[in-house]
Amino acid sequence: MEVEGGRDKARELVLVSVVYDGPKRKAVMKFFDPLAQRIVLIPDSSGHEPYCLSDLSPEEVLKIDGIVNHPGFSKVKPVKKHDLLTDRDLQMTMVFARDPLSIGGRPSGSIRDLLPKAWEANIRYELNYIYDMGLQPGSTYIVDGEEKPARKIFSPPGELLNRMQEKLRGKDAEYVEAVKSWMELLSQPIPEVTIAALDIEVLSSSRTRIPDPSEAEEAVASAAILSTDGRNRFLLLKRPDRVPDEFVVEKNGSQIRPEYFDDEVDLLRAIFEELARYPFLVTFNGDNFDLVYLHNRARRLNVSQEEIPITLGRDYADLKEGIHIDLYKFLFNRSVQIYAFNNVYKEVTLDAVGEALLGLGKVKGEKPIPDMGYREIAEYCLRDAEITLGLTTMYDKLLLKLVMMLTRISRMPMEEVVRHSVSAWIRSLFINDHRARGYLVPRPEDILSLKGGTVTRAIIKGKKYLGAIVLEPVSGVHFNVVVMDFASLYPSVIMTNNLSYETVRCPHQECRSNRILSSPHWVCKKRKGLTSLIIGSLRDLRVNVYSPMSKNPSLPENERKLYDVVQRALKVFLNASYGVMGAEAFPFYCPPLAESVTMLGRQILSDLIEEAKRLGISVVYGDTDSVFLKNPPADKIELLKKWAVERYGIDLTVDKNYRYVVFSQRKKNYVGVLEDGSADVKGLVGKKSSTPIFVKDAFFDLLRILGEVKDEEGFERAKSEIKELASETVRKLRNGEYRLEDLAFNVMMSRATDAYTKTTPQHVKVAKQLETNGTELRAGDIISYVKVKGKEGVKPVQMSSHKEIDVEKYMDIIKSTFGQVLDALGIDLEEEGRAKKLSDFM
DNA sequence: GCGGACTGCTTACCT
DNA sequence: ACAGGTAAGCAGTCCGCG
C-alpha cells in the first residue's frame, strides 16, 4: 500500500473509508483529495487496538489461562459504561488484542469465546475504529501530515437553521444538540469526483453460462473503461484467428479506438494501470465477477499480488486505493430500489435497470464472445460500461451522492454502505451513538430475555404480532374523494411516545404505571429513549428542513438537489426504523417495541376515523395511516388537521384529491382518477408486472376511458366504450393477433429451481424446461412463459407457437383483470365474454 | 379414478 | 435478513362417490 508522507502542507480531504491493513495490523483511513482527484491513505497513528468488553475485573480476566497465553492477547484496561437495560453504571474491562481475528472470527480459541460473557465483540474492526476515533465518513478533514486529521467544521446555511429554530424552542438540550450536529454533517457540500466504469468480456464459448471467476480459465477478451474525465479506453486482446481492424466507436462524448494487445498479461497490466488512476470505480457485479476475474486471471498467469490493484474479500472485491462501488449490490438493495428510485425497476439486471432509469439497454444478441468480431465485442462491452457509468452519473450523480449521504448518516465506510442493507446502516448508526455517549452496546440475547415477547397475535400465520388496520372499502364509485394521511406515522409514534428498546418495559418500578394504551407494556418516564431521540431528530430534519428546502424555488438548483438527496437518504432510514425493531436479525431487536408501534398506529387511525365520522364525513376506505374521505368540506379538513396535532402531535396532511375513486370489494385494490384525468392504480392485476402485456395494454386503454369521465352521466358513455374494448381484446386473442411475447407471463424466480421442494409453481416448471435446454438460470431471474394446452400447461415463450396457446385460460385472465374494475361499475363482463364466444362460433 | 373443498405455497402488491 | 396485511392462482391433499 502506498502511504502518504508527512511533508505536504495542510489539505482539505474527504474521509471516504477505513480499511484494515492485515500485515501492518493497523486501521488505514482512505481520504479523497478533490484537488488531485485521488485517494490518499493515512494509517492510524494512535495505536488503536481491537478489543471487546467483559464484566469481569481486569484481574479476573488475567486469571483466564487461554486469554493471557493467547498469542494475540495485548492488554486489559478498566472502563466505565452505562448500561441502558438496567439504567446503571457498570465497571467493565476492555480486553485488547493485537488483531481483530484474535478477538473473534476464528473457528475456536478466540478471546470472546474464552470470556464467560463478552460485549461489543461482533463489531467489525474498521467500524470500531471509526466510532472510537469519532470519525465521520463523508466529512471533510484538514490533513497536514504531522498531526492527526482534524474535522473541518461547516456551519449550515442560515435558512436551514432558521427553519429549525422554531421547532427547537422548548426542546431539551440533548435534542437540540443532536439536531444541530446532524445539520452540520448533512449540509456539507459533496465534492466533485472523477468516476470510472469498468466492464470486461471473457473468451468463453458458452453464452448461457457465466465464466467461473474463481477458476478464471478463459482469456480476458476486452475491457472497457469509461470515465467522467473523458479518458475513455477500450483494451482488446488480439486473437490468432482474427486480423485486427481499425474502427471507431462513439461513446461518452469521444471517439474510442481499440487498443490491441498481443499478450494477455500485457492487457491485464494495462487494465490495472488504468484502474489505479481513479479514485472511484463503478462496476455492475464487479464484486462477484469483473474484479474477481481480473484478479484471479492475473494470478493464474503468474502476475504478482503486488501488481494487482485488487484485494478480494469473501464476497466482494476492493481496490487497494480507490473506492469500488458495485452497482448491482446497491441497486439490489430493497430500500434503494423502493425509496431512492421509486420502484421503477423490478429486475436487477444491467439491461432492465438501464432501460428503466436511462432508457438504454444492453446490446442484444446471443452470440458467444469468441464468435464475435472485434468491433462487435467493442459495441457490446462499451455499451455495458456506458450504462454502468450512466447509472452513476444520471441526475447529476444522484447515485453517488446518495451513497455519500448514507455514508454520513450510517458512519460506515462508503464501500460497506454499498454492500450492506438498511439494517446494517441503522445498526452502525445506533452503535456509534452508544459509543459516543458512553453507553454499553447491549447483547441481543439480553434485550430479548429482559423485554420478553409480544402479547398480540398476528392475522397472518407465522408472523409475530398484530400489524396495521386495513378498512373494508365501500365498493362502488365515489366522486370527490380526499385522501389524508399521517406524515411518517410510525417514526412519529416512536418519537412522540419516547419508544426505544431501553424505555419500553424499562427497569424502573415507578414507570410501570405508564402503560402503552391497554397493553401490559409501559414506557419510561425518567429517560429519553435513544431510538426516539435519533429517529425523532432525523424525522424533524426531513419534515421541517430538507424536504421543504428541496422544493424551495428561490434556491439555486444545485442546492435544491443536494437537499433532495439528503431528504431521500433520511427517508430510507425513517422508513426502516420501525421494521428493524421487529426483525430478529437486527441486534437491537425488541418485540414489545415493534408491537407497541403498530398498536399505537392502530389506535391513532381508529381515532381519526371516529373523529371524521363525528364531523359528519364519510370514510370510504383507509389503510394503516390514511383515510379516504368522501366530499369533505374544506373547513372540516382543517379541523381534522388541527385535531391530529393537538391529540397526537402528528401531522395529518392532504395527500391526494381524486375526481373519483372506484372500489371493488377488495382491500388494497382501487383506481383513483385525479383532477387532471390521470389514473392512480393500486394493487390491480392489470398493473402487476407478471401480467401479460396484451392484458396490461387493454387495461390501460380501460383506464384512459375512465380518465375521461367527469361525472355520473359520463359513466354511461364509458361503459359502452369499455364493452367495445373488451370484445375487441377477446376477438384479437381468438384470432391469434397478439404476438407470443405479449401473451407471456413474467414471473420472478426468487430461488434456484432445485430449492423449490414443497411445490412446483408454473414458472419453476418452465425454468426447469429451460435448464434442460441448456439455459443457465439464477435466483432473481424473470421467467417468461405462455399458457398452452396439454399436460404441463405452460411453456417458455421462445419454445412455443400460436397453435398451442390455451385461449380459454387467457379468457379467464381477461375476465378477472377487467372484472376487478368493472364489477364496481356494475358492468357484467361474464355476459360480454359469453356473447362474444357465441358470435365467434357463428 | 375423478372432482370439489380445502390448505398451503408462491408471487406481487399496499402501507 | 426492516415489518405485517391482502389478493390471486396454483399445487397438493383429503374425502366422497356405485
Measure, in angstroms, how far nucleotide C8 C1' is from residue A746 CA: 15
pLDDT at A829: 55
Nearest to A584 by CA among A703, A666, A464: A464
Which parts of the protein come within 7 Å of strand B, by CB position?
A 346, 461, 468, 485, 623-626, 668, 681-683, 687-690, 746-751, 756-759, 761, 763, 782
Task: List bases, strand C, within 7 Å of protein CB.
Answer: 1-12
pLDDT at A658: 96
pLDDT at A46: 93
Report the predicted TM-score, pTM, of the whole model to 2 decimal places.
0.93
pLDDT at A726: 87
pLDDT at A838: 30
Cβ of residue A465 lies below 7 Å from strand C: yes
Task: Specify which residue's alpha carbon is closest to the C1' of nucleotide C11.
Answer: A759
Nucleotide closest in space to A749 (CA vs C1'): B11
pLDDT at A241: 85
The answer to whether the CB of A200 falls within 8 A of the CB of A211 is no
The answer to whether the CB of A640 falls within 8 A of the CB of A652 is yes
Cβ of residue A334 lies below 7 Å from strand C: yes
The answer to whether the CB of A34 falls within 8 A of the CB of A192 is yes
The answer to whether the CB of A650 falls within 8 A of the CB of A486 is yes
Task: Specify which residue's alpha carbon is closest to the C1' of nucleotide B15.
Answer: A624
Q: How many CA atoms lie within 13 A of A235 on its CB side?
A: 24
- Cα-Cα end-to-end distance for chain A: 82
Give the dihedral sign, CA A211/A215/A221/A226: positive
Task: List bases, strand B, within 7 Å of protein CB.
Answer: 8-15
Nearest to A22 by CA among A131, A105, A141, A116: A105
Residues 783-812 of A with CB under 7 A from strand C: 787, 793, 809, 812
Give the dihedral sign, CA A271/A272/A273/A275: positive
pLDDT at A61: 95
Q: How far apart are CA A444 and CA A451, in angstroms?
A: 11
Nucleotide closest in space to A462 (CA vs C1'): C4
Measure, in angstroms, how far nucleotide C1 C1' is from residue A425 CA: 13
pLDDT at A146: 65
Task: Specify which residue's alpha carbon is closest to the C1' of nucleotide C1.
Answer: A585
The answer to whether the CB of A501 falls within 8 A of the CB of A593 is yes
Q: Which class for A758: exposed (0-12), middle (13-18), buried (19 or more C-beta within 10 A)?
A: exposed
Q: What is the largest CA-CA distance in chain A?
A: 98
DSSP state of A683: S
pLDDT at A523: 98
Q: How far apart are CA A692 and CA A694, in angstroms?
A: 6
pLDDT at A174: 87
Measure, in angstroms, how far nucleotide C2 C1' is from residue A325 CA: 23
Mark the ranges of chain A whose per-residue pLDDT is less than 50: 1-7, 831-842
| Residue A435, phi then psi, degrees to nearest 5 | -60, -45
Residues 263-322 of A with CB under 7 A from strand C: none
Nucleotide closest in space to A577 (CA vs C1'): C2
Nearest to A541 by CA among A134, A161, A174: A161
Cβ of residue A421 lies below 7 Å from strand C: yes
Nucleotide closest in space to A459 (CA vs C1'): C5
Spell A97-131 as b/e; 16+ CB within 10 A means b. bbbbebbbeeeeebbbebbeebbbbebbbbbbbbb
Measure, in angstroms, how far nucleotide B3 C1' is from residue A733 CA: 29
pLDDT at A592: 97
pLDDT at A588: 97
